[in-house]
Copies of this chain bind each other. A is one copy, B any other.
Amino acid sequence: MTPTTETLTAERILEATEEVLRRHGPAKATVVDVARALGVSHGSVYRHFRTKAALREAVTKRWLDRTSASLTGIVAEARDPEARLRDWLAALFTAKRRKAGDDPELFATYQVLTGENVEAVGAHITDLTGQLTRIIRDGADTGAFTVTDPPTTARAVFHATARFHDPGYAQDWDQPDIDAQFEAVVELVVRGLRA
């Protein structure tokens, strides 16, 4: 669409791919479309990404990483672990809910992409449970939580709150009492962690 004289980089291709996915959706977005948007031939795209699948995987990773990055701040804070845990879970829920609510079509597009890239999703979940592990370990160290194995407990907390971050439940996130449901689960989980 805006052919420039700038060098063709992986980054520029990823940007263009996101735009094409947003416009055409996951089923109709083709490598030819991406090349056209960049004003190059589709052969050039294959110089940077071996296959269409690799290109889509890279876009998916970028998108997932942006979500993780927005939460690292809470992990690093030097505050009461219980408050940090509550804030982290609420921030994750809020972020996901906003993405699903603000642009449902784009969200659906990324649901298709994550379905194609189970491995990237696995890495993302490892990343998120790693963040949770740090908070829970802090809580165990300060004595706020009673936990024998922080990584296992972090995974348990992540699974127990899945309803509020797993995209598969997105259709429930505009129920009127969803916040009350969230509070009830968080309360149950936090009580289960306390000393």
A residues touching B (Cβ–Cβ < 8 Å)? 152-153, 155-157, 159-163, 168, 180-181, 184-185, 187-193
CA distance A6 to B153 in the complex (A): 58
Q: A191-B191, A191-B192 are in contact. Are A160 and B185 (CB under 8 A)?
A: yes
CA distance A163 to B168 in the complex (A): 12
| Listed A/B pairs (26) with beta-carbon separation below 8 Å | A152-B180, A152-B184, A153-B188, A155-B181, A155-B184, A156-B181, A156-B184, A156-B185, A157-B188, A159-B181, A159-B185, A160-B160, A160-B161, A160-B185, A160-B188, A160-B189, A162-B162, A187-B192, A188-B189, A188-B192, A188-B193, A189-B189, A189-B192, A190-B192, A191-B193, A192-B192
